[in-house]
Structure 1
Amino acid sequence: MRVSTAQIFDSGTRGIGRNQSDLFKLQNQMATGRKVLTPEDDPIASAQALVLTQSKEVSSQYLKNQGDAKGKLGTVDAQLSSLTDLLQNVRERVVQAGNTTLTNTDRSHIAQELEARFSELMGIANAQDGAGSYLFSGYQGAVKPFSLSNAGATYVGDDGQRLLQVEGSRQIPTNISGRQLFESIRSGNGTFTTATGGNTGGGINQGTALIDQGSVNNQSLWSQALVNGYGDVEIRFSVNAGVTQYELYDASSNTLISAAPTDFVPGQTISLQKTTAPAQDFGVSVTLQGSPAAGDRFMVAPSASQSVFTTLRNTINTLKQGINSVGSGNSTTEFVNDLGGNLLNIDQALENITGMRATVGSHLKELDSLGSAGEDLQLQYAASLSNLQDLDYAKAITDMARKQLQLEAAQLSFKQISQLSLFSIL
């Protein structure tokens, strides 16, 4: 085959250019540390790297969301801790106020202190996070959730949960609604409440009897009693021939539901039941210590949701009213019973807060687990991307030395071949 001088020059130029291009590519790879600079270098590796990079960015965003969620929940938990300390302090003062040797002036001083605690409680309820959003207003972060009212405070937020996506299939709430924390608190023992007096009148209790919080013996019987309209029950006392007796009335209709008066002794447990036909056991009982006087009444009613603000306001009002003489306000018995009822409601509020803190704690623990898993996943993504994209420097250096040798050989051979000519031998 005849090879022209032009073909020799063209072939030599292409060979030198190809080797220079390979060296240039190797130089760029070594400068960037990447073996895949463009999709044409390795189409399959480029496609896999793109998918892994997107997955890694999504995982990174989840980690960021988890950090944000931990920060928000940490702020909520700090406020719950402050709220617990505040109510514990209130409880101690209420227990102290129950000492009947104190004077009304002493109780008034305690009431003034509790007014300051009330202001602190309002401050916690209207607390804000670092971004200026109210913690306990539900969805409405820009709305101040609580405002003062005669009964304590009024909630103007909602029940919404602010959710953050912390995993592909997991959203975590980063707030607690004010209604759930401060208002949805069951009064009394959570099933029913006890109190002195009754809703059908009866004056002020003059005896020394104190009623406890009561016990639920059979929840289904109590539920059935409510269905039948027997939730509000009055225990009315009378004294006949020196014997203290009691009868049960349906307070809502002022109807006697005891078939006959029952003798009473201090410390006796009274089972609430309808003994007139048709008989029905209500499944609950109460215990009274001390001696009731003729005409004394005690009330049992179904529990309802009561705001902690209302509980604290009622406690302050009870302390301000104090113990007064017959016919002019609370008797000693009524004062102690009312204060005991308020103390029980404070305990219910503390129990509710404990439940909220347990929920927040479980979310924080879950976020820690998700964070650890997310960080491990980030390492796996990084390792996979490194295998696809990162340069093997040992191989690259070897390839560069080989390409340099090829280029030098191509240049030298081209130089020698290009000098060949018939004219040089004439």
Structure 2
Amino acid sequence: MGIFKIEGGIPLKGEITPQGAKNEALQILCAVLLTSEKVKINNIPDIIDINKLITLLGNLGVKIQKNEPGSITFQADEVNVNYLETEAFKKEGGALRGSIMIVGPLLARFGKGYIPKPGGDKIGRRRLDTHFEGFINLGAKFRYNREDHFYGVEAPEGLIGADMLLDEASVTGTANIVMAAVLAKGKTTVYNAACEPYLQQLCKMLNSMGANIKGVGSNLLTIEGVESLGGCEHRILPDMIEIGSWIGLAAMTKSEITIKDVSWENLGLIPNTFRKLGITIEKRGDDIYIPAHVNGYEVKTDIDGSILTIADAPWPGFTPDLLSIVLVVATQAKGDVLIHQKMFESRLFFVDKLIDMGAKIMLCDPHRAVVMGHNFESQLKATTMSSPDIRAGISLLIAALSAKGTSTIQNIEQIDRGYERIDERLRAIGAKIVRA
């Protein structure tokens, strides 16, 4: 396994451009299975999780033509559905969380979809019930092999539109159900649907392919099924999680950084949440400019003077993927912050590594942590640590870049799953980071 060696405490300076959004790309790439025509996708991030999914699509028989970097044309006109029942697929599909989203398109177009229990981050229980309950509502028959954890849905006569109320506003669950419903007979309504920008992007792409989806951006989607979909060209949004990561990096390292082409209209509460921590964020066209916080940053309390609480929530609430970043940034703020991670019960467990570096954090329970900021009066100390998941990994990397001394981060494949060439891009703005 690879490691990063990081010399911390060095202010950075320059411009950095966010990669294409990982969470959008996972949905968009699965949607190419819905048509036999060519689909060109631009701004695809070159990261482990996305490359694994592209390989999986290729093994399913999807033709893949690489254009310029970040641009690929897909054509699913000779899909081998029988591959789903092979041992190779069980191993391949089980290594990637996003593989679950091939089920909806395959079920809609070919009448069946199978998937092994998906892998991904070890951040707590990530249920699949919403996905399969949606497929069952559309008329599919569900089966589950407990011995090898293999899920299957079949609808040889085709899917039929239905009204459904989702038990949770699952982003991947909504995406899977929408991709199944676009080719179902009749009308489908999905209430309590996720409405994240990435889901909106998927719906806009499907509509450009000939689907009929209304209510995009709301939690009530209405889908009129169509006979077939055609090809299209689609550009993936910049990754809002990476944008939030760079904001946190700039504050923690007292760096002057410009984040280019961020798509401000799709950032939601992200800029204002970091502003609550006292971080200065300027809008310059479609860029974010963050000045060097040489005097630190001070947490804003609530109106009544009580401790600031930052919690995750379904969109347009604050995304859970950035709570790890907020937590590490709070360690050097002036003031205290309560971090409330509602969705995943294991995501805060990396704080012991920050405590080893000298951070003042009290883990109240699996979902809540109180951070007592140092106000840079006590610098974090370098250490050796391991990355447990993508977002904790980048948080530890930010901590290491701000710490005094040379830190080592092990298991960096977790970071590479979600961040493209991160060491090269950080070196370009002055970071001393080496991959070994």
Hey, which of these two has a bigger chunk of helix by percent? 1
TM-score (norm. length: structure 2): 0.20
Determine which structure has the larger strand proportion and give its number: 2
Q: Which has the higher contact order (CA 8 A, sep 6+)?
A: 1
